A and B are shown apart, each in its own frame.
Chain A
Amino acid sequence: MNYHINHLRELESESIYVMREVAAQFENPVLMFSGGKDSILMVHLAYKAFYPARIPFTLLHIDTGHNFDETIRYRDDLVAKTGCKLVVGSVQEAIDNGEIREETGVNASRNGLQTHVLLASLEKGKYDAALGGARRDEEKARAKERFFSHRDEFGQWDPKNQRPELWNMFNSKHRMGEHFRVFPISNWTELDVWQYLAMEEVELPSLYYAHKRMVIERDGILLADSEYIPKKPDEVPFEEMVRCRTIGDVTCTGVWRSEAATTKDIIEEVATTRMTERGGRADDKRSETAMEDRKKKGYF
């Protein structure tokens, strides 16, 4: 008899294992939920890891205030369905309190401001582990991330001084005030995520599927038109058939010309596409090391 599981089931098993380690090794873990497909996958896997018990993680949403309506609706439905506690860290509130200052100019985005609010929320909630849906295939700085990634008391990542991670043992030891970022889906690729979501018939926000939307074009990237995006005089919104490949803040999530209306179409599209999914992220385009620089400071 040949005992064998396919690659998606093996990735699933690995992620469940990591999530159970978090529940066992940490006192107060939180799952960072953005409303994107990766965090939806995370909640789906957490549900499986602890069934029939409830997911033992609080959900933390860092809200820039510049959301797609669909994201918030989906988030609230999911909270109702899973019975998880939801904590929202608000960028708007931090701006109103004078903790951080809004960027100005046409490319202004609240993306960078999230780091401050994230770290403040983790500190306030005394969370010792923050589970994230980052994947190593997304970006070159993320390719060097651990499953259990140690953060100092300032929330900083030190890529040159990471703990070696061997076999399936995860060292979560830390001092008071330090925390861990944990990435259970580190080894999944974009295609794996889509294939798995299709296999499991997971419902996603409609933004991921092709739909008609008013967009503007900037530096070769299509952005969804919204009141939060200051437009240059020559930028006239026009209607296109598009979908999102990643979902973040409205101001920096590029949309994508696409006719892919079903998960099956999307798998086809992802398998043959010529651009990485973060190719449409304005936040990564700022410089070659944009992600590495943000990660060191404590970004997702």
Chain B
Amino acid sequence: MSEEYSSSELLRFTTAGSVDDGKSTLIGRLLYDSKSIHQDQYEQIKKTSEKMGEAEINLALLTDGLKSEREQGITIDVAYRYFSTPKRKFIIADTPGHIQYTRNMVTGASTANVALILIDARQGVVEQTKRHAIIASILQIPHLVVCINKMDLVDFKEEAYNKIQEEFESFAAKLDVKDVHFIPISALLGDNVVNRSTNTPWYEGSTLMHYLENVHIASDHNFIDVRFPVQYVVRPYSDEFHDYRGYGGRVAGGVMKKGDKVMLLPSGFTTSIAQIDGPTGEQQEAFPPQSVTIQLADDLDLSRGDMIVRENNKPEVSQDMDLMICWFTGDVKLKEGGKYTIMHTTQEARCVIKDIRYKLDINSLHRNEEDKDIGLNDIARIHIRTTKPLFTDPYRTNRITGSVIIIDEGTNNTVAAGMII
């Protein structure tokens, strides 16, 4: 089998910003300069630009999807965009930046390797910038790129850029962000987006595209702690595979090897890995984010929601946990003492909200212990108890085994996302 078409890596990034930051223009620019826009798409936005009476073709129109969004000139939902270069394939989760859309930013951020934050060079760090950075930090996006945009409107002055960088750094010192990069750009004119700008001779860093193509993402997964949530038990019941019993799932952490001694949760039984089958047949090892089917040496009770781990490296097995949550609905408030359905990896349980510890002010990082009124887009720390033990890790060490969603049992809606502390 030939893998010749597939030497490239997949990178997911999220963009946050308002219309005024030039976010849509930046995405349009990335797509346009990387030649990912097709002629019919180009003609369609040209037609629409003319209809709206604009002199130049409006690259921002490329990212406006739904009718109601175009009418109102805003983005309502997370939109996914795709482009690729010979080195990487990119998935952009494009989210609106207004406070009422925090839930969309959180959604887009949950799977991102990189967060792209836009700052208007004339405005500097504003409330919205801080909010984006806080969300990127809470959601533990591994890499942060701060694009200082509209440099053309400040005459590409180095002082303007330096001032904003300092401003951002002094604020970010309070956050849990590991890897921050700054790039002076003009999305409108293309400076330092794909092509290096001659207007910023004082800037020695890479262009945005060069950064996206080269940022090291290979260690964004956890390769240390073996975690295999059983997703689906494969039982053929056929003559050929009469006694076959395989455990399908996606490796959530660590490297699993054929022959490894493993422990099953919740039973605590130990056995070893007899065989690992992947999409291309038998393989000797499996690691995140591979989907595989695992056969064990012994016939033990194991089903969906259970987990395969290493005996000397177990996750927390507990019914009590603290979470940072983002509340997603305006219909109902979070209820202390309220009962909800909770999903964690492939497990489902019920939980009761034991305590609302504090509400986080998303602009100042202030923890307000008096305010227990948690509504749409609020971020809070809570304590819950579940009906059965979950096998968890802190979100900091594993984004998959450290995350949950909370579902309202009356409406079936996903009302909150939670990160285990």
A167-B403, A168-B250 known; A160 and B68 CB under 8 Å? yes
Which parts of A163-194 form the interface with B (CB within 8 Å)? 163-169, 171, 173-175, 186-187, 189, 191-192
Interface secondary structure of A, over-half rule: loop
Q: Are A136 and B80 in contact (CB under 8 A)?
A: yes
Let me know if B104 is at the binding interface, CB within 8 A. yes
Which of the residues B4, B76, B78, B250 comes within 8 Å of A13, measured between beta carbons? B250
The contact of A279 among B40, B78, B235, B290, by CB within 8 Å, is B40
- Minimum CB distance partner of B11 in chain A: A7
- Find chain A residues with CB under 8 A from B48 CB: 288
What B residues does A274 contact at CB under 8 A?
38-39
Give the docked Cα–Cα distance between A16 and B399 (Å).
20
With contact pairs A166-B107, A167-B400, A192-B89 given, residues A174 and B412 touching in the complex (Cβ less than 8 Å): yes
Report A265 CB to chain B, min CB distance, Å.
13
Q: Which residue of chain A lies nearest to B103 when distances are taken between CB atoms in the complex?
A: A164
Q: How far in angstroms is the closest Cβ of chain A from B136? A: 15
> A24 touching B104 by the CB < 8 A rule?
no
Q: Report the minimum CB–CB distance from B205 to chain A (whole Å).
A: 25
* B234–A16 CB distance below 8 A: no
Q: Please encode chain B, from 379 to 395, with 1 for each CB lying within 8 Å of some chain A CB and 0 for all others.
A: 00000000000000000
Complex Cα–Cα for A24 and B249 (A): 11
Any A CB within 8 A of the CB of B171: no
**Inter-subunit contact A53/B236 (CB<8 Å):** yes
B177 to chain A, nearest CB (A): 19
Q: Which residues of chain B (325-345) have a CB below 8 Å from chain A? A: 328, 341, 343-345
A166/B106 contact (C-beta < 8 A), A7-B6, A52-B244, A175-B412 known: yes
Q: In the bound complex, do residue A167 and residue B277 qualify as a contact, i.e. CB atoms below 8 Å apart?
A: no
Contact of A20 with B107 in the complex, beta carbons under 8 Å: no
Are A51 and B78 in contact, CB atoms less than 8 angstroms apart?
A: no
Q: Write out, one digit per residue, whether chain A residues 65-82 have a CB within 8 A of any chain B CB (1) or not (0).
A: 000000000000000000
Closest to A274 in B: B39
> What is the CA–CA distance of A274 and B236 in the complex, to the nearest angstrom?
46
Q: Contact: A167 with B236, CB < 8 Å?
A: no
Please report which residues of chain A, range 256-297, place their CB below 8 angstroms from some CB of chain B when the two chains form the complex: 267, 273-276, 279, 288-289, 292
Is B400 in contact with A3, judged by CB distance below 8 angstroms?
no
Chain A residues, Cβ within 8 Å of B304: 24
A17 vs B1: C-alpha distance when bound (angstroms):
23
Nearest A residue to B287 via CB reads: A3
- Whether a CB of chain A sits under 8 angstroms from the CB of B170 is no
How many A-B residue pairs lie within 8 Å, measured between CB atoms? 196
* A143 touches which of B9, B67, B81, B345 (Cβ 8 Å): B81
Instruction: Report yes or no: A164 in contact with B104, Cβ–Cβ below 8 A.
Output: yes
Residue interface mask B390-420, A partner, CB < 8 A = 1: 0000000001100111010000111001000
Is B107's CB under 8 angstroms from A164's CB?
Answer: yes
> Of A13, A53, A165, which contacts B290 at CB under 8 A?
A13
Would you give the 0/1 interface string for B39-52, flagging 1 where the beta carbon is closer than 8 Å to chain A?
11100100010000
Answer whether residue B223 sits at the interface, using C-beta atoms and an 8 A cutoff: yes
- Residue A85, interface by CB 8 Å: no
Min CB–CB distance B397 → chain A (angstroms): 15
A6 engages B9 (CB within 8 Å): yes
A240 sits at the interface (CB 8 A): no
Q: Is A195 an interface residue (CB 8 A)?
A: yes
A166-B9 contact, Cβ under 8 Å, with A13-B279, A51-B277, A137-B82: no
Known: A5-B290, A49-B248. A171 touches B279 (CB 8 A): no
Max chain B C-beta neighbours (<10 A), residue from A143, A165, A192, A288: A143
Interfacial chain B residues near A24, Cβ < 8 Å: 231-232, 304, 346
Q: At the interface, yes or no: A131 with Cβ under 8 Å from chain B?
A: no
In this complex, what residue of B is CB-closest to A15?
Answer: B291
Contact B405 A171 (CB under 8 A): yes
Decide yes or no whether B202 CB sits under 8 A from chain A: no
B313 at the interface (CB under 8 A from A): no
| B110 part of interface (Cβ distance < 8 Å) | yes
* A9 at interface by CB-CB < 8 Å: yes
A173 to B409, CA, bound (A): 9
- Does A123 count as interface, using CB distance less than 8 angstroms? no
A218 at the interface (CB under 8 A from B): no
Point out the residues of chain A lying under 8 angstroms from B268, CB to CB: none
Question: Are A187 and B279 CB-contacts (below 8 A) given A52-B244, A53-B236?
Answer: no
Q: A166-B107, A173-B341, A199-B2 are in contact. Are A189 and B84 (CB under 8 A)?
A: yes
B414 near A4 with CB under 8 A, answer no
On whether the beta carbons of B412 and A171 are closer than 8 Å, the reply is yes
Instruction: Please give the distance in Å from B145's CB to the nearest CB on chain A.
Output: 20
A233 to B290, CA, bound (A): 57
Known: A6-B8, A274-B38. A169 touches B403 (CB 8 A): yes
CA of A175 to CA of B234, assembled, Å: 28
What are 7 residue pairs bridging A and B, where the CB atoms are less than 8 Å apart in the complex? Answer: A9-B6, A52-B238, A143-B65, A166-B107, A167-B403, A173-B412, A267-B5
Q: Which 5 A-B pairs have the closest CB atoms?
A: A173-B412, A195-B5, A6-B6, A7-B10, A274-B39
Q: A52-B241, A192-B89 known; 18 other A-B pairs, CB under 8 Å?
A: A2-B218, A3-B287, A4-B9, A6-B9, A7-B84, A14-B291, A20-B248, A20-B249, A24-B304, A53-B234, A164-B417, A169-B345, A171-B343, A173-B341, A187-B80, A187-B82, A200-B1, A276-B40
